Amino acid sequence: MTQTERPGFDRSDRERAEATDSTRASTAAGGDVLMAIDLADAWSVLDAAERAQGFATLPRSEAEDFFLRLPTRGQAELLLTLPASERRSFARLLAPDDAADLIQHAPHEDRAGLLALLDSATMHEVTGLLTYAEDEAGGLMTPRYARLRPEMTVSEAISYLRRYANQHRDATYYAYVLDDAQHLLGTVSFRELFAANPEDRIADVMRGDPVAVQEDLDQEAVSRLFAAHHFLALPVVDAEHRMKGVVTIDDIVDVVREEATEDIHKIGGTEALDAPYLSIGFLRMTRKRAGWLSALFVGEMLTATAMGHYEHDLARAVVLALFIPLIISSGGNSGSQATTLVIRAMALHEVGLRDWWRVIRRELASGLVLGAILAVIGLVRILAWQAMFQSYGEHFFLIGLTVALSLIGVVTFGTLAGSMLPFLLRRLGFDPASASAPFVATLVDVTGLVIYFTVASVVLSGTLL
Amino acid sequence: MTQTERPGFDRSDRERAEATDSTRASTAAGGDVLMAIDLADAWSVLDAAERAQGFATLPRSEAEDFFLRLPTRGQAELLLTLPASERRSFARLLAPDDAADLIQHAPHEDRAGLLALLDSATMHEVTGLLTYAEDEAGGLMTPRYARLRPEMTVSEAISYLRRYANQHRDATYYAYVLDDAQHLLGTVSFRELFAANPEDRIADVMRGDPVAVQEDLDQEAVSRLFAAHHFLALPVVDAEHRMKGVVTIDDIVDVVREEATEDIHKIGGTEALDAPYLSIGFLRMTRKRAGWLSALFVGEMLTATAMGHYEHDLARAVVLALFIPLIISSGGNSGSQATTLVIRAMALHEVGLRDWWRVIRRELASGLVLGAILAVIGLVRILAWQAMFQSYGEHFFLIGLTVALSLIGVVTFGTLAGSMLPFLLRRLGFDPASASAPFVATLVDVTGLVIYFTVASVVLSGTLL
C-alpha cells in the first residue's frame, strides 16, 4: 500500500485501537512510526534477508506493533528468520487463535518448533485449536473469553471483569454465563452490566438461550450469520451445548474477503490460489492454473471435432468461417454473464436451489432479448460492409440472416446453460463457483458451432450449400 | 435460506444479541418464532401483497424483529406497503444510519414521505447523513456516539455512560473524547474504563491521536483499514478533525460483501447489478447486461474483419478453420485467468501499480509454460487423430506444428494482455475490474487469429499455402 492510496488515513498515528495495549508502553516518536510505515510499504518487494534486516532496525515497541499487523503468513515467515533469542518473545505476543493460525500456515517441519515457543498455558490452548479445520467455526474461535456464573451479582461480575480486563487483551465485549458443566446459559454485554442495577443477579440480567454456532459449522455459514444479524461476537459450542470459545467479527471480515477471493479465482477459471499473488511460488501457481486450462483445452478440442463434420460445408462456403469467432464468443460472453450472476447470488443466499424455475424463466427471456439485440447489430454490420465493400457476394442477405438467427440461438443457449450449470453443480454437491465462466464458454463454443452450421444448412440450402 | 443450509444455527432462538433490546420486551414463544422463520424462508418468492399479508400476521415484537433483520431494500419496500398508521412506528425503530440507507434505497417520489415519518431529532440527523454518498465513510457512519470531556474523571464518565447506555441502542463500545469545538482528542473503550482507577482524569486514560477516517474516504479504503487493523469502530472526522460520527465493523462486513459482488459482476462481463438477482427488475438487469454484451460484440466484429484478410488462405486450406475455435479460446481462457488473479490481487492491495514489472516477468514465464503444455496436448491430439482417422491429409505434421506454435504464442499473449490490462486501466484512472474476462477474451481473439494465420503462412508456405 502506498501513501497516496489512503488519503483519509491519519498517518501520524497508526496505532491499533485494541489488543496491543501492553506493547505500546512507549509511545513511538514520529520518526519511528514513519520508519515502520516505510518498511510496510517496501515489504512486498523485499526478500527474506532484507525483511529481517529492516525489521531489526525498528525500535522494540514499533517492531511488536509491526509484527502484530502482518498477515499470518508474513508473521510465520518473519518469525522463522528471527534470531532464536527473539522468537520466543514475539511468538508470545500472539493471541491463541492467531498463534494457531500462524502454526497452520508454517511449513510442516517448523510447526513443532513454533509451538514450543509458547508458554505452557497458551501451548495447551493452541494444541486444542489445531484439531479444528481452518475453515470451520472452531478454527476461527479464540478459547479465551470472560466467564460468569448465573448466581453472581452484577457488582461481583463487574469487579471480576475489571480484573479480567486488566489481565487479558482479547477484544470481545460480552461475558458468557456458564453452569458447572460449562453449558452456555446466556450472554451479557459489558455495556448492559454498566446499565444494570449492581444488586441484580446475573441470571436476571443475562440474555438467555443465546444464538450459538456449532464448532464444526463452515466459516462461510458463520460469516452469513454475522452479516445477517450484525453480531459483534458469537459463542461456539459443541454438540452438548458446552461452551468452547468465541468467534469475533474482526476475524469474519477476513473470512468474507477470503471466500470472495476463492470464488473470484474459480470464476476466472483457475483453482483458488490460497495465497497472495506475489508471494505464491511460481510452480505452485502454474500448477493451479495449468490444471483447469488443460481441462478446458481438452473440452475445447470438441470444437475441432465438430468443425470436422462441417468441413465440406466450409469448403463450399468459406465465407461462413468468417463469423465463427464472432458467434461462439457471443455465446460465451452471454453464458459468462449469466453464470457469474447466478454464482454470486447463490453465494449471498439470494438464490437457492428451489429458485431454479424462476431463474430459467428470467434467463430465457433475457437470452432472447440479448440475442435479438446482437442479431440486429450483426445484420446491420453485414449489410453495411456489403454496401461499402461488397464483402459477402450475391447471397449476402442470406448470410446475414444465418448470422442473425444463429446469434439469437447461441446467446439464448449460452444464457440458459450459464445460469443452469451452477444449479446442476450444486445439486450434485459441488461448489457452484466451479462453473467458471471459461467452462461455460467452452460448453457454449461447441454447441454454438452446431447451432450455426445447422441454421446455415437450412437458410443457405440451395444457394451456397 | 432453507433450514438445511444452516446446520449449526440454533433455530430455537434467532434473537439479535444487540440493538433490538426494547423491541423484545415479550420473549417470543416457540410458535411465533417459527412463524417468523417460515415467513423469512418464503420471503423471496412472495409478491408485495403476500409479504404485507404475512407480515401482518406476526405478533408485534416478532414483526419488529423481522423488520429490523430485512435488508435495506426489503425494509423500504415493506414499509411502503404498510398501513399509514403503522409506518411511523416501524420507521422509528431504525437507527439514523439505517434510516438514511433506507431512504436512499427508496424510489425518489417516496423519499420525502419516508423522511417525514421520523421524529424531528432523527430527521435532522438523517438529513445530515443524506448529504454523503452511500459509498463513502460519511455514508456508512452513525452520528450517534458517546462523547466525553477530557477533564471528566473515570467515575463521572462511567455514570454518564451508564445513563447513555440506558437511552441508546447503538452497539459501539468506545467513547470519544472531544474538546469544546468538537475536535477529536482521543478514544477510550468501555472496557478500559472498567479497568481504570475511578479518580483518574479521562485525559490521562484515553488513547490520544486516534486513527480516524475523513468523511469522504471511499468505503473500500475504510474496509481495508478495518481488515488490516481489526478495529471494532473508527471515528469519522472532517477536514478540521472535528468528529462527525462513527463507522462500526458490522457495517463493514456488508461493505466487503458488496464490493466483492461488484467486482465479481464486472469480471463476469456485466455492470454491477447493485441489487439482488431475483429482485432487480427485468428491464434494468437486461440493460446492465446488454451494454457490455453489445460493446464486446462490436469489438468481436474485428475478428470477422481479420478473418476476411485470410479468406484466400482459408479457401486453399480449409483444414485451418478447424482449429480456430480451439486456438482463440485457449488465448481467452489464459487471459481470463491472468486478469482475474491480478484484479483480485489489486483489490486486496497485494499488488500495486509499481509491481507491474514483477507481474510481467511472472506472467511471461507462466504464459510460456502454460502455452507449451497446451501445445504438447494439441500436437498429441492431432497426431493421434491422424493415426486413427487420417483426418488431416499428407501435411498433418506441419498442421500440428502450426497449431502448437500458435498455441504458445496465443497463450503467452493472452496471459500478458490479461495481466497488464488491469494496470493500464488503473493507470488511466478506471476500475481495474472493468478489464473483465470477456473483454480480455475479445482482445485476445482478434490477436489470436493474426498470430495463427501468420504462423500458418510461415510453416505451411510452399505446401498448403
Model confidence band, residue B58 (pLDDT cutoffs 50, 70, 90):
confident
Q: Look up residue A257 and give its three cell numbers.
A: 474477503
Q: Which residue has the higher pLDDT, B406 or B218?
A: B406
Looking at the fold, whether B97 and B53 belong to one and the same domain comes out as yes
With an 8 Å Cβ cutoff, is A406 touching chain B?
A: no
Which residues 195-234 of B are in CB contact (within 8 Å) with A? 195, 207, 209-214, 216-217, 221-234
Same domain, B133 and B165: no
- Give the pLDDT band (50/70/90) at residue B30: very low
Q: Is residue B266 part of a domain?
A: no
Tell whether A363 and A335 lie within a shared domain.
yes
Q: B140, B156, B189: which is the final residue of a domain? A: B140
pLDDT at A144: 83
Residue A109 to chain B, least CA–CA distance (Å): 27
Q: Do B63 and B83 touch, CB atoms closer than 8 A? A: no
A312 touches A392 (CB < 8 A): no
CB contact under 8 A, A165 and B194: yes
CB contact (8 A) between residue A230 and residue B171: yes
Look at residues B28, B236, B273, B224 and name the one whose alpha carbon lies nearest to residue A366.
B273
How far CA A172 is from CA of A168, A234, B147, in Å, comes to 10, 10, 21
Domain-located, residue B258: no
What is the per-residue pLDDT for A36? 63
pLDDT of residue B35: 59
Residues of chain A with pLDDT under 50: 1-34
Q: How far apart are CA B220 and CA B222, in angstroms?
A: 5
Same domain, B450 and B308: yes
Residue B74 belongs to domain spanning: 3-140
pLDDT of residue B171 exceeding 50, the answer is yes
- Residue A324's CATH number: 1.10.357.20
Instruction: Tell me: do B294 and B390 sit in the same domain.
Output: yes
Number of domains chain A is built from: 3
Q: How many CB atoms lie within 10 A of CB A225?
A: 20
Beta strands, E only, A53-202? 146-148, 174-178, 184-189
What pLDDT, in 10s, does the model give residues B427-462?
A: 888 888 876 777 888 889 999 999 999 999 999 988
Q: Region B381-400: what's the mean pLDDT?
A: 89
- Chain B segment 58-97 residues within 8 A of A by beta carbon are 69
Which chain A residues have a beta carbon less than 8 Å from that of B210?
13, 15, 17
Distance from CA of B285 to the nearest CA of A (A): 9
- Is residue A346 domain-shared with residue A421, that is, in the same domain? yes
Q: Cα separations (Å) of A407 from A367, A395, A453, B181, B282?
A: 10, 19, 12, 65, 21
* Helix intervals (H) in A4-44: 30-42
For residue A417, tell me if it sits in a domain: yes
Please indicate whether residue B69 or residue B411 has the higher confidence score (pLDDT). B411
Within a domain: residue A141? no
pTM summary value: 0.75
Lowest mean pLDDT among A164-173, A431-440, B87-96, B338-347: A164-173
Is B31 in the same domain as B161?
Answer: no
Q: Nearest CA of chain B to the CA of A114: how many Å?
A: 24
Measured CA angle at A409 (ends A403, A410), to 5 deg: 80
Q: Are B224 and B333 in the same domain?
A: no
The CATH code of the domain that includes B17 is 1.25.60.10
Instruction: Compare CB distances from B253 to A213, A226, A362 and report the shortest one's residue.
Output: A226
Instruction: Give the angle B174-B179-B181 at the CA atoms, nearest 5°.
Output: 120
Residue type, position A164, single letter:
Y
Going by C-beta distance under 8 Å and a sequence separation of 6 or more, which residues neighbour residue B313? B320, B453, B456, B457, B465
pLDDT at A44: 67
Q: What is the per-residue pLDDT for A203? A: 93
DSSP label at residue A250: H
Has residue B227 got a pLDDT over 90?
no
Which of A197, A225, A248 is at the close of a domain? Answer: A248
Domain presence at residue A169: yes
Last residue of a domain, one of A136, A157, A177: A136
Partner A contacted by B240 (CB < 8 A): no
In a domain, A35, yes or no: yes
Neighbours of B128 (CB within 10 A): 15
A391 and A314 fall within a common domain:
yes
Average pLDDT over residues B225-251: 86
Which CATH number covers residue A235? 3.10.580.10
Show residues of chain B in contact with A141, CB under 8 Å: none
Grid look-up 484478410 returns: B309
Question: CB B342 to CB A194 under 8 A?
Answer: no
Same domain, B333 and B393: yes
Residue B2 pLDDT exceeds 80: no
pLDDT at A73: 77
Do the strands B146-148 and B174-178 form a parallel or antiparallel pair, or are they unpaired? parallel
Comparing A75-79, A235-239, B2-6, B50-54, the range with the smallest average pLDDT is B2-6
Q: Is the pLDDT of residue B173 over 80?
A: no
Q: Return the closest-CA partner of residue A263 out of A344, A334, A342, A339.
A: A344
pLDDT confidence tier of residue B186, bands split at 50, 70 and 90: very high
Tell me, yes or no, whether B120 and B151 share the same domain.
Answer: no
Residue B132, in any domain of the structure? yes
More confident residue, A268 or B322: B322
Query: Among partner residues B44, B326, B333, which is closest to A269 by beta-carbon distance?
Result: B333
User: Which grid coordinates belong to A354?
Assistant: 428451489
Query: Which of B221, B228, B322 is closest, CB to CB, to A69?
Result: B228
Burial B218-245 (b: 16+ CB within 10 A, else e): bbbbbbbbbbbbbbbbbbbbeeeeebbb
Residues of A in contact with B171 (CB under 8 A): 230, 232
ipTM beyond 0.90?
no
Residue B113 class from Cβ within 10 Å (0-12 exposed, 13-18 middle, 19+ buried)? middle
In this prediction, residue A330 carries a pLDDT of 92
Residue A270 domain-assigned (yes or no): no
A194 → closest Cβ in B165, B210, B441: B165
Check if the beta carbon of residue A113 is closer than 8 Å to that of residue A139: no
| C-beta atoms surrounding A422 within 10 Å | 30
Residues A132 and A152 in one domain: no
